[in-house]
Amino acid sequence: MALKLPYRPNTSSPVVGTANDPGSRFVAVGIDFGTTYCGVSWAFSGRPDAIYEVSEWPSHYHLNAGEDQVPTVYDIPSGRWGYEVTPKMKPVKWFKLLLLKDKDFQSEEIRNSPPLQSARSQLEASSLSPTKVIGMYLKKLWEHTYSQIASRLDVENLPLRVAITVPAIWPPYAEQAMREAAKLAGITADRDIGITTLDLVQEPEAAGLSIFLDRRGFPEIQAGESFVVCDAGGGTIDVISYTVRSTSPFHIGECVKGDGKLAGAYKVDEAFETYLKEEMKLKLDSFETAEHNVFLTKDWEMGAKRAFAGLPEPPKFFLTPPPKAVKTFDRLKGKGSFGITREMMTRFFVPSLTGIQDLLRIQIKKVQSKTKKSPKRILLVGGLGGSQYIYNELSRQYPNIVLRPLRPWSAVARGSVIRLLQEKLSGQENLEPGQKAIIDQMPEVVSRTVRYSYGVESKKVIDSLDDFDEALDPVTIDPDGSKVALRMDWYLRKGDDVAKKKPVLLGYSQFSKGSAPKSCRYAITYSAADIPPKRPDSTVMELCTIDCEWDKPFEEWQKVGKRGWRVHQDLALAMRFEGQTKWTVRVGSCKKEHEVKVEYMS
């Protein structure tokens, strides 16, 4: 069969959705799957104003009461995770980043960083893929989450709507790997009450929704004002900007394309460990695993790192390493501890701070170029965003506009719950008055900026091509006798603004001979190139394949020529961009959208 795309339909034509109504009673669960820490929030749709954090994480060696997040660590031999990991274990860390291919790391320094090298080695020794390990970790996380919700709600009799957050800079193949990991974890397993849906939400968008909901009544929230959200986490720094479209209803639109880089809190930790080895001459190899983990957790992570604010007092931060790491002579002199000066602490934070500053400078400049004025506020969230030093430095650079939420650690997980509630409940007619009033107050992202170009390979009649080149364009003959050549048909281009309520439609026709296959199957491609190519090349990659059912028997297709070929010309692919791509197909003159089977490429 041949696939041909001769026309582009009028995107203003009304399209009626036929997706199953998810109902107004469900549990929304948001999972912030971070490089170094994870958090989970949830809400019952009947009380969308009450969003709860999961806590009481399982632990084998210390209390964690009230902790909003759990460490993203997993001990492969024992199957222990998070706070269950004891100091004597050597858990795998940073396995989230192993979903990225080497070519997509922003620098060789990151690709070859010690935590990533260690994670690779541990997975290779265990013959486990990154997707498998993430699935094993998420299974533990999900089982605890489910038990926590079940102790407070009759979750067995309620459908589940789940969202997992991903970095804004992740390519589609990494997002698909996350979907596969969620499946391995049992998150989308069949339940008697109905299917569990899974959405992927970009981390900075989730953070923005959380902050906007908290600040919806504040005077700076006015139509036309723009805000930059900076999600500074353990692994990635993500920035994104939104413009308030209206306050009632509370609509926001992505202002300019977000950006990110791997420059999170791990950079601070790397600089600290380099200092211990090269300047303090500590014998880190002499640390027992338990000693090493306790030292880094107690003295560094929970101590100096979080306490540092860049202020004159205290002038030094004192840490006590394991005795074996200190030279015998120094121990005899009573030098069991050492002090790190304020200047040295500042050096540890410089790489991450510089990464944040670079991203903010570029994002603010783009906002100013598009809106002709500066953003109203910079909204700072994430674990590193909670650092008093980072906040102080950014406030010095951008006086009076940097703000932090009350709960920066849980902002991303809570924001993904807000997305689920808004998306699944908005527009339903059977809502109770209280539900509707709350949903109307929630911020809704009504437009987004596309980060990739999306399209399909199509056959074009060569007489219609003004750039036909015999050397570059192999010619084939269509069933209707037309000479055709392959071209890329891009229906969304990188940087395009896409309205949430308005699907992008791409029309096409389908040839067949003898009898039609049971379904129409074709491939969607994407490209990260700033200017997508006219012809298929190395920048064009396959995103997914789509199967759709025909609306009429083969005998009713239009005849073409005298050799038995027929053509179906009344088809259109409908694509919505809601932070992730959502596909349906319009078939026939009824102009209804049909659900389709979508298979994403790994």
What would the two tokens of residue 186 be?
């049992």
Identity of the amino acid at 446: V
Confidence of residue 133 (pLDDT cuts 50, 70, 90): very high
Considering the domain 27-201 in this protein, what is its CATH number? Answer: 3.30.420
Between CA 87 and CA 293 the distance in angstroms is: 5
- Averaged pLDDT for residues 543-572: 74
Query: Which pLDDT tens digit goes with each residue over 310-334?
Result: 998 888 888 887 766 665 445 444 5
Question: Average per-residue pLDDT in the chain?
Answer: 82
169 is written with which tokens? 């800079």
A 10 A CB-CB count for 148 gives 19
- The residues facing 51 across adjacent strands are none
Q: Is the dihedral of CA 60, 62, 67, 72 positive or negative?
A: negative
pLDDT reading at 72 higher than 60: yes
Q: For the purposes of burial, counting CB atoms within 10 Å of the CB of 49, is it exposed (0-12), middle (13-18) or buried (19 or more)?
A: middle
Coil, strand or helix at 108? helix
Give the distance, in angstroms, between the CA of residue 568 and the centroid of all CA atoms in the same chain.
38
The rounded distance, in Å, linking the Cα atoms of 50 and 449 is 30
Within 8 A by CB and 6+ apart from 583, the residues are 524, 544, 546, 573, 574, 575, 576, 596, 598
Q: What is the CA radius of gyration of the chain?
A: 27
Q: How many Å apart are CA 92 and CA 508, to the nearest integer?
A: 48
Length of the chain: 602
Going through 519-564 in order, the beta strands assigned E by DSSP cover: 519-527, 540-549, 558-560
Q: Name the more confident of 223 and 511.
A: 223
Sign of the dihedral defined by the CA atoms of residues 119, 124, 130, 136, in that order: negative
- Residue appearing with tokens 């582009």: 8
- Which residues, other chains included, contact 274 with Cβ-Cβ below 8 Å and sequence gap of 6+? none
DSSP string, 121-170: HHHHHHT--HHHHHHHHHHHHHHHHHHHHHTTS-GGGS-EEEEEEE-TT-
How many CB atoms lie under 10 A from the CB of residue 4?
A: 21
583 in Cβ contact with 575 (< 8 Å): yes
319 or 82: which leads in pLDDT: 82
Residue 210 and residue 345: Cα distance in Å, rounded?
31
Domain-wise residue ranges, the chain: 3-19+449-600, 27-201
| Rounded Cα gap, residues 42 and 52, in angstroms | 5
Would you state the pLDDT for residue 338?
78
Q: Say what angle helices 388-397 and 342-371 make with each other, to 10 degrees.
A: 50
The SS3 call for residue 98 is: helix
Residue 141 in this model has a pLDDT that exceeds 90: yes
Question: In DSSP terms, which residues pair with 467 in a beta bridge?
Answer: none
CA-CA-CA-CA torsion sign (24, 26, 32, 37): positive
Q: Mean pLDDT throughout 61-89?
A: 82
* Residue 57 · residue 71 · CB < 8 Å: no
Q: Is the pLDDT of residue 571 over 80?
A: no
Among residues 91, 179, 75, the alpha carbon closest in space to that of 544 is found at 179
- What pLDDT is stored for residue 479 in this prediction? 75
Instruction: Look at residue 332 in the predicted model and tell me its pLDDT.
Output: 41
- ∠ CA 223-224-228 to the nearest 5 degrees? 105
Q: Which of 213, 218, 201 is nearest to 250 (CA)?
A: 213
> How many CB atoms are located within 10 Å of the residue 451 CB?
20
pLDDT interval class at 265 (50, 70, 90) = confident
Coil vs helix vs strand at 216: coil
Neighbours of 499 (CB within 10 A): 14
Residue 74: both structure tokens together: 């997993």
Tell me the pTM: 0.80
Find residue 521's DSSP bridge partners: 547
Assigned token pair, 365: 């400049």
**117-126, pLDDT tens digit by residue?**
889 999 999 9
Distance set, CA 70 to CA 29, 54, 253 (Å): 16, 10, 32
Q: String of b and e for 228-260 (b: at least 16 CB within 10 Å)? A: bbbbbbbbbbbbbbbbbbebeebbbbbbbbbbb
List pLDDT tens digits, range 343-396. Answer: 999 999 999 999 999 999 999 999 999 999 999 999 998 888 889 999 999 999
Confidence of residue 135 (pLDDT cuts 50, 70, 90): very high
The CA distances from residue 450 to 211, 256, 582, 602, in Å, are 23, 10, 13, 20
Q: Which pLDDT belongs to residue 11?
A: 31
Residue 170 tokens read as 């992740």
Asked if residue 283 lies in contact with residue 273, where contact means CB atoms within 8 angstroms, the answer is no
- 235 and 264 Cβ atoms separated by less than 8 Å: yes
